[in-house]
DNA sequence: ACATATCACTTGTACATTGCAAGTAATCTT
DNA sequence: AAGATTACTTGCAATGTACAAGTGATATGT
């Protein structure tokens, strides 16, 4: 999966993207970094979807190999690594916004979305209805650069 | 995979989207419908990536169950089914455009993209550099509505 | 009309990936 | 120094994917 460079199934740009991040977990890890400001292995493990430890380690390694994320040692705790998005990874933000917007338009999602905070639900609806996604994307980029949680009350 | 409604891993809209179309093949089938005007099982089978017959049948069934595509009998040949995108499926076009744009920006893709026609490569670069994706999305929608091939020389 | 080809699948079986439980080495805390 | 925490790895069972070969319905060619 998300295999070694050099043996692509095809050179279609859609396929190229899917081979980079189109598995069950990669975009959820990126989501955690983008919207929740998560940065360490332990934080990723805590997500609602419950990723297994070996799968998480594998995905982090492959995202790093593809240049979507990078890691560096934690300055204060040498057991930890700090993962962050490269520019290539930050450029996936528009994609995440489109996925959120797509889901946000559907009644199927709306009826399942009981547990979000009001601010989260408000933002999802905003993503789904805005004319100008550029503004949203910039806000998210700023929030990531600040290392903070996107849904923080302003 | 792309499992039965009701047992979502979480109610996050990113996860919701990924559970609907986030497997290895669904978006490639949708790509074939959107950019290449493909409509039948046999046409999907012919794609460069080489999907297996049982996997294709399974994905078509699950996309249909999720309301992303629908099928109707071919009017002239009763062996065939005609698959088409529902409105919910058409709303995935912006997502495809973002994937193409992401890949199109990368030198890794550019160096692998030998086999495309000049028109295809021109469009990928356009997706990657445009300020106004809305215009592109509308053009694609029109091309799908016309049942035609998006990269046709104008 | 009959034989052959085509189409949209299904079935069987090998192979690969995923997921769970448990373990490990390094570092931190007390 | 002892125990806790962190980021992983390992082994194995369950699940999913891929290939090859079929099947039944419809179409085509003679």
> Model pTM?
0.94
Which tokens go with A44? 């990723």
Cβ neighbours of B53 (radius 10 Å): 10
Kindly list the residues from chain B whose CB atom is less than 8 angstroms away from the CB atom of residue A105.
Answer: 91
Comparing A130 with B112, the larger pLDDT belongs to: A130
- Best probe of the B interface among A5, A8, A12, A51, by most B CBs < 10 A, is A12
Nearest residue to B47 via CA among B71, B63, B28: B28
Is strand D in 7 Å reach of the CB of A152? no
Q: What mean pLDDT comes out for the span B121-150?
A: 95
Q: What mean pLDDT comes out for the span A94-108?
A: 95
Are the CB atoms for B33 and B41 separated by under 8 Å? no
Query: For tokens 């912006």, what's the residue?
Result: B94
Distance (Å, rounded) from C-alpha B67 to C-alpha B116? Answer: 32
CB contact under 8 A, A112 and B8: yes
* B132 backbone dihedrals φ, ψ, rounded to 5°: -120, 90
In whole angstroms, D3 C1' to A79 CA is: 16
Protein contacts on strand C: list nucleotides below 7 Å from a Cβ. 6-12, 17-23, 26-29
CB contact under 8 A, A28 and B13: no
In whole angstroms, D22 C1' to B57 CA is: 16
pLDDT greater than 80 at residue B106: yes
The pLDDT, as a whole number, for residue B154 is 65
């Amino acid at each position: 999966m998300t295999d070694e460079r050099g043996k692509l199934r095809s050179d279609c740009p859609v396929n190229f993207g899917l081979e980079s991040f189109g598995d069950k977990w990669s975009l959820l890890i990126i989501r955690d970094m983008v919207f929740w400001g998560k940065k360490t292995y332990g934080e990723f493990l805590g997500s609602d979807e419950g990723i297994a430890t070996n799968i998480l380690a594998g995905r982090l390694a492959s995202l790093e190999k593809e240049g979507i994320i990078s890691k560096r040692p934690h300055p204060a705790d040498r057991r930890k690594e700090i993962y962050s998005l490269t520019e290539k990874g930050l450029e996936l933000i528009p994609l995440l916004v489109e996925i959120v917007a797509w889901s946000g338009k559907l009644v199927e999602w709306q009826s399942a979305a009981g547990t979000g905070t009001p601010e989260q639900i408000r933002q999802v609806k905003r993503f789904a209805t805005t004319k100008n996604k550029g503004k949203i994307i910039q806000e998210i980029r700023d929030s990531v650069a600040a290392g903070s949680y996107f849904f923080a009350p302003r």
